[in-house]
Amino acid sequence: MIEIVIFYFHIVAWIYAFTKVWQEKGTKTALLSFAVLAFVFIVLWTLTSPLARLIYPSKPISPYFTADTLSLILLVIPESIFYYFYFFKAKF
């Protein structure tokens, strides 16, 4: 359940980023920006998943909070920092 909320957060962030860049720079740059965000998501999730498996116990504590949920939460932290610097502090 928590995973779905985190995935929805990512979808909203990607739509916001695409729309913002599309209005300012055009379609090609917006598609490239979307590709960068998707690449960052994939790479960071690949890195945080083994970390979560090391931290989280092998027997699940709750059906709502699993190792995948922990990996997505660990993913959101550096990804939100990246979004902040990429979209709000960027000087296009």
Please state, in angstroms and rounded to a whole number, the distance separating the CA atoms of residues 66 and 29: 37
For residue 89, pLDDT over 90 is answered with no
Amino acid, single-letter form, for residue 84? Y
Tell me the two tokens of residue 18.
Answer: 């695409």
Predicted TM-score (pTM) of this structure: 0.82
Least confident of 34-43, 61-70, 71-80: 61-70
The CA-based angle 19-23-29, given to 5 degrees, is 80
pLDDT bin (cut points 50, 70, 90) of residue 92 is: low
Mean pLDDT of 70-89: 89
Contacts of 44 (CB under 8 A, 6+ apart): 75, 78, 79
Average per-residue pLDDT in the chain?
A: 89
pLDDT digits (tens, 9 = 90+) for 30-48: 999 999 999 999 999 999 9
Residue 83 pLDDT: 86
